Amino acid sequence: ALWAYAKLLRYTKRHERLNHTVADVFECNVRETPDKLAVISETQQWTFRQVNEHANRVANVFQAQGYKKGDVVGLLLENRAEYVATWLGLSKIGVITPLINTNLRGPSLLHSITVAHCNAFIYGEDFVEAVAEVSKDLPAELLLFQYNNENNNSTADAVKTAKNLNKLLSAASASAPNKTQVNHHDKLVYIYTSGTTGLPKAAVISHSRYLFIAAGIHYTMGFKDDDVFYTPLPLYHTAGGIMCMGQSVLFGSTVSIRKKFSASNYFADCAKFNATVGQYIGEMARYILATKASPHDRAHRVRLVYGNGLRPQIWPQFVERFNIGKVGEFYGATEGNANIMNHDNTVGAIGFVSRILPKVYPISIIRADPDTGEPIRNSQGLCQLCEPNEPGVFIGKIVKGNPSREFLGYVDAKASAKKIVKDVFKHGDMAFISGDLLVADEKGYLYFKDRTGDTFRWKGENVSTSEVEAQVSNVAGYKDTVVYGVTIPHTEGRAGMAAIYDPNRELDLDDFALNLAKVLPTYARPQIIRLLTKVDLTGTFKLRKVDLQKEGYDPKVVSDALYYQTAKGRYELLTPAAYEQLQRNEIRF
């Protein structure tokens, strides 16, 4: 780990000294292997030369339109080779590209465009209706550019003001654009938080930060330049867009992508593309594990999978079934500077920090209120380190000018301020506060416990929603599950409520209750169950907990079937009459 970190620092320092941008590093790969495949999918095979030529056309089109360094041009496009080429091209002229979540519609989409202060907006043909829906509320000065799929040279009537980007690109030069002085620490893209707890926030990613993230995972996980990567993750998020696509952009590897994730096709795709490294997020791993056995389960060349959120409850089964030699689990926030990785297959661990040399990588776990995340300070007003196996909030020391320790925050300065804690271990110092509860064991392995505020108290015990979600999902046959605390009159604390996606009513609640009792203590078992018939997921397959929590458990408000746990442990239908009894304390938990 120390050797990998040393190589990472040497790599980032060299590019900082040379004032390299991401496009500069990419162009080095173009010169070295112009005809090597850079991005492949079911329908595309683009070489490094093709990606660069498309990027140059994009740069020349927008330079000719008058866009310059510091301008902001949003991008709403599905996973495809042009996606990478578009933001790369804009970066060559110093334009910043907000990478818009393709799932957003209505107010969320409008917010993402406006909060980034976009001067122009590029959207794909598949998103015409989404853009048309918000077009009347967009700033009058915002120019729209529509990028069409193959064999379509028209602009949709729904967005009459949009320019046809395909026509402009076909007439543009594939040579490098006129030189713009773009620097190593300049802003590159904005990547949005997933919005599970509210509207998406635009996090700032500079060229130096992109290099640090992509190179960090490269060296820590022992990637090879001749590896073929597979990711079905969206390219508008850090995991797919930097950690995976960055292996092509910066290290000259081939990356295979998919327009939309398919659990049943995951390892079939890996075999088709000869992938040696696969990417996941925990929810995806669970979906893949829930698929029926297939000849592709072990007939592939994948030597390593990496990602975040592979829960310890399914880790051994996943590795065994799919014959995975190594799992690389990482942890980090897009906007944060506290990033860690588990590179030695320790089941359940999300990273490691040396207890012998803790100051080599200045991240810490401090004591904090589990409900609010506020640090618990000592008599001097400073933060306190947690002991081994003591849960606390994860922080990363801020050092301005150092890409590994810088906190660039969000476009919204007020939102950024909320993520900074001051007077940490000495008066005047600062740290990024993650909002996540972690615990470190005696050896230095770190484990995720929960989000602050997601731990609730019931029957005098603290209940971790992430741990309960994992067990509920397993017992329910790996179905999408979200757990949260709800207030019940005449009781202390909050009772657990689980929303389970079960549109076809496959769940046998008697068996479910029986099996849940085998894996969860009484206080941790959900008191109320909601069987979801439709589900609203973020781009990283997370249920929108905040919306479900607000809706509560009133059957007059919630159209989904609701059940409550009786004193005997069975789940009974929560009717309006039963709800009223519950409110009057006639049904007790």
Please, are residues 349 and 447 in contact by the beta-carbon 8 Å criterion? yes
Strand duo 143-147 + 120-124: pairing? parallel
Which position has the token pair 């500077």?
Answer: 337
pLDDT (mean) for 209-217: 94
Domain with CATH 2.30.38.10 in the chain: 353-450
DSSP symbols for 386-405: PPTT--EEEEEE--TT-TTT
Predicted confidence (pLDDT) at residue 356 exceeds the cutoff of 70: no
Of the candidates 246, 218, 214, 244, the residue with the CA atom closest to the CA atom of residue 230? 244
* CATH fold group of domain 454-583: GMP Synthetase; Chain A, domain 3 (3.30.300)
For residue 196, what pLDDT is reported?
43
Break the chain down into helix, strand, coil percent, rounded to 5: 30, 25, 45
Q: Any idea which of 72-76, 230-234, 532-536, 552-556 has the lowest mean pLDDT?
A: 532-536
Lowest mean pLDDT among 290-299, 303-312, 486-495, 549-558: 486-495
pLDDT at 541: 53
The whole-model pTM stands at 0.80
pLDDT digits (tens, 9 = 90+) for 492-502: 778 999 999 99
pLDDT value of position 156: 59
Under CATH, domain 353-450 is a member of which superfamily? Luciferase; Domain 3 (2.30.38.10)
Q: What is the pLDDT of residues 419-469, one digit of tens each?
A: 899 999 999 999 999 888 899 999 999 998 877 767 777 876 768 788 789
Which residue has better confidence, 589 or 508?
508
- Residue 502 CA to residue 533 CA, distance in Å, equals 6
Give the Cα separation of 93 and 70 in Å (integer).
9
Q: What is the pLDDT of residues 156-188, one digit of tens each?
A: 566 778 999 999 999 999 999 999 999 999 999
Is 86's pLDDT higher than 80? yes
H or E element: which one contains 464?
strand 461-464
* Share of residues in the chain with pLDDT > 70 (%): 94
Give pLDDT, residue 194.
Answer: 57
Across the chain, what does the average pLDDT equal? 90
CA pair distance 232, 258, nearest whole angstrom: 5
Instruction: Pick the range with the lowest mean pLDDT from 80-84, 278-282, 323-327.
Output: 278-282
Residue 332 has pLDDT above 90, yes or no: no
Tens-place pLDDT, residues 371-418: 778 999 999 999 999 999 999 999 989 887 676 677 888 888 888 888
512 touches 481 (CB < 8 A): no
What tens digit of pLDDT does each residue of 40-81 get?
999 999 999 999 999 999 999 999 999 999 999 999 999 999
DSSP assignments along 295-345, one per residue: GGGT-S---EEEEE---TTTHHHHHHHHT-SEEEEEE--TT-S--EEE-S-
Query: For 397, phi and psi rounded to 5 degrees?
Result: -60, 135
Q: Cβ contacts of residue 438 below 8 Å, gap of 6+? A: 350, 365, 391, 392, 393, 394, 446, 447, 448, 449
CATH 3.30.300.30 residue ranges for the chain: 454-583
197 falls in which pLDDT band (50, 70, 90)?
very low
CATH architecture of 2-260: 3-Layer(aba) Sandwich (3.40)
Q: CA–CA separation, 494 vs 222, rounded Å?
A: 45
